[in-house]
Amino acid sequence: MKQTIIPLGPYHPLLEEPEHFKLYVEGERVVELDVEIGYNHRGIEKLSEGKTWDQVPYLVERICGICSTSHPMAYCLAVEDLVGCDIPKRAQLIRVVVCELERIHSHLLWVGLAGHFIGYNTVWMWAWKYRETILEICEKLTGNRNHYAMFKPGGVRRDFNKEQIDYGLERIVEMEKPIRLLTDAILDDPVIHKRLKGIGVLTKKEAVDYSALGPTSRGSGVPWDVRYDEPLDGFKDLKWKVIVQKDGDVFSKGVVRLLECFESISLIKQALVSLPEGGAIDADIREVPPGEGCGRYEAPRGEVFHYVRSDGSNMPYRHKVRAPTFNNLPTFKASCKGETIADVALITASIDPCYCCTERVAVVDKNNNEKILREKDLLKLSVDKTKSIMKKLGKTPPLYNMEI
């Protein structure tokens, strides 16, 4: 059959962020898919090398507007790993509260958008109505609806007072009922079952092979969650469980997200109740010694990884970010093949992609021409760099062939 290419994006009404999909279709079926990104590249890693350790959290929370606590959290964990300090108990629990609030609003956002993608705008309006209440709690507790600026290496910037804690507890307990209502309604809806079940299946083996992260892997029966596998300080003492579904289709990913909302509500309740009276909220890091540190944290979409390297000055020498979508994006190759065009928009949304988080590389030459780097080009760049370093150090090139 003749193959046709259908472009999707970069400014497509269904896509919130600019990204470009090329769908290779035979008739109605998608046989291959290609993603081009780069419309959101802002050079954050380079910018962060020009900011002091305390300024970087403001920058990394602007990597993405939805995971705007996960990135600072991972960065702070990386710096704390490098310094080797302990965080006060109160600060740990405040972090848990803010992070879990973000998880609920991000998952509700996904549920709403998934409803929008299948043309079921009632779900969209309904889910976002409840999301608004969560943002209200965020605003009361942290001072802003998004971009909370709560975290700093060594602790948190602002403390919760008694009034805020009571308000947060009261509202979050109230939220359980409407979210339960929404969940039950979605899980019982025959239309949603027909649209989402058996669509875009990612098997357990494929999920492991592609190193899928977050709800994408947990929907396929792989119980990976950094909060659980590598217990973070705040989460260690609280009781919660990792939600896993087996089927790997879009529906399972949705179920994982909806059920995780309840775990998050439970975590927030436990954290707010067990918040110790008074005490420090900041470990007061004065100096960052030379060395390197890694921070891993489970963002709503999967594991966020931050790496920092210090040369002993007041700025990071190198800062590397790896966002979950970077791993989840290639799973489209497995899950989109053989599906119809109508389902592809939904499947590509099912991993809850965040292109703002993912875009770490852009190549633009002087004449403003764009260039797409394929695997071969990246390999060539890497080999050239090694060669130039060797030349600089006066070492002889290795005996084996470095040509590609």
Question: Residue 6: enclosing H or E segment and its boundaries?
Answer: strand 4-8
The least distance separating other proteins from the CB of residue 11, rounded to whole angstroms, comes to: 5
How far apart are alpha carbons 59 and 79 in whole angstroms? 15
Among residues 3, 5, 6, 145, the one that binds other proteins under rule CB under 8 A: 145
* DSSP track, 9-60: -SS-TT-SS--EEEEEEETTEEEEEEEE--TT---HHHHHTTS-TTTHHHHH
- Which residues, 365 to 394, sit near other proteins by CB under 8 A? 368, 370
- Identity of the residue, 82 or 99, whose beta carbon is nearer to other proteins in the bound complex: 99
Structure tokens at 377: 């080009």
Residue positions counted in the chain: 404
Among the listed ranges 39-47, 182-190, 252-260, 270-278, the one in contact with other proteins (CB under 8 A) is 39-47
Among the listed ranges 123-131, 191-199, 307-315, 331-339, the one in contact with other proteins (CB under 8 A) is 123-131
- Say which residue the tokens 């910018």 belong to: 47
- Identity of the residue, 367 or 396, whose beta carbon is nearer to other proteins in the bound complex: 367
How far apart are alpha carbons 105 and 98 in whole angstroms? 11
Among the listed ranges 142-150, 238-246, 282-290, 305-313, the one in contact with other proteins (CB under 8 A) is 142-150
Among the listed ranges 76-84, 122-130, 323-331, 374-382, the one in contact with other proteins (CB under 8 A) is 122-130
* Cβ pair 81, 73 in contact under 8 A: no
Answer yes or no whether residue 362 interacts with other proteins by CB under 8 A: yes
The least distance separating other proteins from the CB of residue 322, rounded to whole angstroms, comes to: 17
Among residues 2, 13, 188, 393, the one that binds other proteins under rule CB under 8 A: 13
* 241 residue type, one letter: K
- Angle (nearest 5°) at CA 189 between 184 and 190: 150
Nearest Cα to Cα of residue 86 among 152, 151, 155? 155
The least distance separating other proteins from the CB of residue 6, rounded to whole angstroms, comes to: 16
- Identity of the residue, 64 or 91, whose beta carbon is nearer to other proteins in the bound complex: 64
Answer yes or no whether residue 11 interacts with other proteins by CB under 8 A: yes
How far apart are alpha carbons 57 and 59 in whole angstroms? 5
b/e map of 190-203 (b: 16 or more CB within 10 Å)? eebeebbeebbbbe
Among residues 125, 173, 378, 381, the one that binds other proteins under rule CB under 8 A: 125
Question: Residue 172: enclosing H or E segment and its boundaries?
Answer: helix 162-188
- Identity of the residue, 128 or 332, whose beta carbon is nearer to other proteins in the bound complex: 128
- Identity of the residue, 34 or 292, whose beta carbon is nearer to other proteins in the bound complex: 34
- Say which residue the tokens 């890497």 belong to: 382
* Cβ pair 307, 320 in contact under 8 A: yes
123 forms beta bridges with: none
Among residues 26, 49, 86, 132, the one that binds other proteins under rule CB under 8 A: 132
Tally the C-alpha atoms within 13 A of residue 77's C-alpha that lie toward its C-beta.
Answer: 25
* 307 residue type, one letter: Y
The least distance separating other proteins from the CB of residue 147, rounded to whole angstroms, comes to: 6
- Identity of the residue, 208 or 362, whose beta carbon is nearer to other proteins in the bound complex: 362
How far apart are alpha carbons 331 and 248 in whole angstroms? 11
Number of residues that bind other proteins (CB under 8 A): 41
Q: Between 46 and 85, how does the x/- string for binding to other proteins read (CB under 8 A)?
A: xx--x-------xx--xxxxx-x-----------------
- Which residues, 87 to 116, sit near other proteins by CB under 8 A? 109, 112
The residues of the shown chain that bind other proteins, judged by CB under 8 A, are: 10-11, 13, 16-18, 38-44, 46-47, 50, 58-59, 62-66, 68, 109, 112, 124-125, 128-129, 131-132, 145-147, 354, 356, 362, 364, 368, 370
